Amino acid sequence: MYSFSRDESYDQAINEAARLDFSVRTSTGTVADWYQYSRELILDDFLTEQDFRGKIGNLNCIVQIDETKIGKRKYHKGRHVEGAWLVGLIENGSEDFRLELCPNNERTAEVLHGIIEKHVT
């Protein structure tokens, strides 16, 4: 987790672990698993905290909303991306934002309207 928090590459994390104990070699898979675990902890904490912060915006405030698809391009070609739709909402002039994955990976008007109602005053 130390190497993850310092934004070190897998190789740097392996070398750092080797400095602690020269007889043990940490595998890339182990480092990848720890980095993924660290990402999941941060995301879980963010989403839990987000639920307790309440809604953003007010009557005289603009909230910007954007959607993006996160994932990988199929066969690393073209623009087709397999992944999940993510909606981001941020209040103008503020660093307060919300993130929400579209349920069932749908981004219909009804789904987006529900996300907006959930997070915007």
Average pLDDT over residues 16-41: 83
Distance CA 37, CA 30 (A): 11
Q: Report the alpha-carbon distance of residue 70 to residue 48 in Å, rounded.
A: 21
By the 10 Å C-beta count (0-12 exposed, 13-18 middle, 19+ buried), 115 is classed as: buried
Are the C-beta atoms of residues 64 and 34 closer than 8 Å to each other? no
pTM, full prediction: 0.64
pLDDT tens for residues 46-80? 888 887 888 999 888 999 999 998 877 666 666 66
Query: What average pLDDT is seen over the chain?
Result: 85
Domain boundaries, the chain: 2-52, 63-119
